Structure 1
Amino acid sequence: MAVGTLSVFPVRPGTVDRRAGGRAMALAPLVGALLGGVAAVVLSAALWLGVSPLLASVLAVGTLALLTRALHLDGLADLADGLGSGRPAEQALDVMKRSDIGPFGVVTLVLVLGVQVAALAEASAAGYGPVALVAACVTGRLAITWACREGVPAARPGGLGAMVAGTVRRGPALAATALSLVGLAVLTCAYCLGALRLLPPDDAFGRRYAEYTSTEGTGIGSYAALEGTEADPARSDVVGVSLAPAADLLASWSPLVLFLGLPAVAAGLLAASVLRRRAVRRLGGITGDVLGALAETAAAAALLACVALW
């Protein structure tokens, strides 16, 4: 149910009820990791082929739209139209159910997609775009998990919101958050190690890293140290995208490496929480459109946090 609801991948869910809905929403971050992984492959392939970070980011974000049938983006536009209408709850919900899109929805889509693409392009230019993209996708679906926790009502009796609202207990939500943070920490460390190995022997970073390992005794070598080559300040990129920031982060071996996903997840959940509270106050609860809007908003905020941190 989690895969079938949150992605385009064809599956045959078993029993579809509120109990299954609660489990599916608790597993939503895993679906986010799957979607983010596929989009990260597209992003990495485009960068490897020499595509600019901006265009590669557009392709990656477009891939996510395809993998979700653009349902989250549709929910974002519908919620913007509903909240922007300024009408009472029932009338605002009617606005959200319409098939057309209003000016509030158009502007919101342009701004949110613009933030996602711009932040991802900046992260890609710095060499950590794939990690940031996966973190954003996981955070977006984690926002859905928390929006379905106990105590959050549904705005109307029918639809996806009514099936999953209030079905996730606090324990599973906390467990999903902890597992997401651990997974992102492992992914970050693996990516940093991979980035270090991809640096050319004459990369300017190699000399700095070799000096660091010799003084700090981390036991991790670099190509400059292993090959004994002289660092050349003129070389600082691989296929046009610098990997030094990722390797430099690992070289510092700060505890920040282990908790790199924390700022992204925290920023995404905070932004989603503000939007969810606003939606619940205005509409009386959550709907499927609200869940989609939360996913896109949290993803955008997580990407911004990644760019600001690195």
Structure 2
Amino acid sequence: MSLGDGMRLATGTFTRRTSGQVTVSRDSARSALLLAPLAVLPLALQVVLVGTSVELGVPPLVAAAAALAVLAYGSRAMHLDGLADTVDGLGAGLAKDPLEVMRRGDVGPMGAVALVLVLLVQAGAITALLGSGWRGALLVGASVIASRAAAAVVCGRGQRTADGSRLGAAFVGTIPFGAAALLTIAVAAVLVAAALPVVDTLPPDGSPGSPDLAWSTIRMLAVAALAAPIAVLAAARFRDKAARAFGGVNGDVIGAGIEVALTVVLVLLTVAW
């Protein structure tokens, strides 16, 4: 596995940063998928910095919208585009070729509604998290990192590539189950580490109206630990539905899986406190 080629491929695929020339092979594609959470670290840090603006008095909703704007710009909005195209393809009906609908380049009504709803949910969840100030911003950044593990899960061994997909031909079917599981555990650990500063803000035992501190801590860390596995499972279920409709997985499905995972992680974290 070429780590150098893999990191350059991951950077060029999952962010807007230039990565130079890279030799695309099954090995470099596998490496890129496994390194995707690391490749988006600079973008996640930008999201954290924008979210931290709440400490300067910026309203959480405004900071959440700005964080999503930075995330969309830094990823060329390609995952959002993939989500819209995938939903449009799923809603094409029997009279149309779903892959042809996805290749048209425009956004249909179902794709537009999916984008609006997903961004509303993400903005609402980020707003809630930013109520904890910089600690919440840290969790939002960790969620960005964790969500990129979904790409590896979507491209697991045994998956077929949809007809005509160059990105799918490079990535799909390259990731063994064990590697995907280890990557999921790794990003779950990142989420748990990001949640630890929030534990310090919990009210102590005996405070009026406060829950038991030990139970609150356990609940928060348990949700943080389980958020990534649940999110990648949701992305895998979405992939399975799309693969049945399209005859396989393409680049749009990979991007959609990332957006599904990010949304699930953010929503789960909001229920932790």
TM-score, structure 1 normalization: 0.77
Distance apart, 1:252 and its partner CA: 6.4
Report what 1:269 is aligned to: 232
Give the gaps of 5 or more residues in structure 2. 1-8
Q: How does 1:258-297 map to 2 (within 5 A)?
A: 258-297=221-260
Q: Is the 8 A contact 1:267 1:305 kept in 2?
A: no
Q: Is the 8 A contact 2:10 2:33 kept in 1?
A: yes
CA separation in 2, counterparts of 1:306 and 1:123? 8
Report what 2:101 is aligned to: 95
- Matched position secondary structure for 2:271: helix
Distance apart, 1:157 and its partner CA: 4.3
Report what 2:270 is aligned to: 307
Distance apart, 1:14 and its partner CA: 2.8
Q: Is the 8 A contact 1:279 1:290 kept in 2?
A: yes
Percent identity between the two aligned chains: 35
Distance apart, 1:159 and its partner CA: 1.4
Bigger RCO of structures 1 and 2 (CA < 8 A, at least 6 apart):
1
Which one of the candidate residues 84, 93, 113 is aligned to 1:86? 93
CA separation in 1, counterparts of 2:66 and 2:120? 13
Which amino acid in 2 is paired with 1:81? D
Q: How does 1:63-212 map to 2 (within 5 A)?
A: 63-87=70-94, 91-127=97-133, 128-189=135-196, 191-192=197-198, 209=204
Distance apart, 1:256 and its partner CA: 4.6
Tell me the number of residue pairs that the alignment of Structure 1 and Structure 2 aligns: 263
Report what 1:40 is aligned to: 48
Distance apart, 1:263 and its partner CA: 2.8
Which amino acid in 2 is paired with 1:30? L
Distance apart, 1:36 and its partner CA: 2.2
Q: Is the 8 A contact 1:56 1:121 kept in 2?
A: yes
1:9 is the counterpart of 2:39: no
CA separation in 2, counterparts of 1:35 and 1:259? 26
CA separation in 2, counterparts of 1:99 and 1:159? 16
Q: Is the 8 A contact 2:234 2:261 kept in 1?
A: yes
TM-score, structure 2 normalization: 0.87
Distance change (3 Å), C-alpha of 1:259 and 1:105: same
CA separation in 1, counterparts of 2:254 and 2:13? 11
Runs of 4 or more, structure 1, over 6 Å off, are 248-253
Q: Is the 8 A contact 2:11 2:40 kept in 1?
A: no
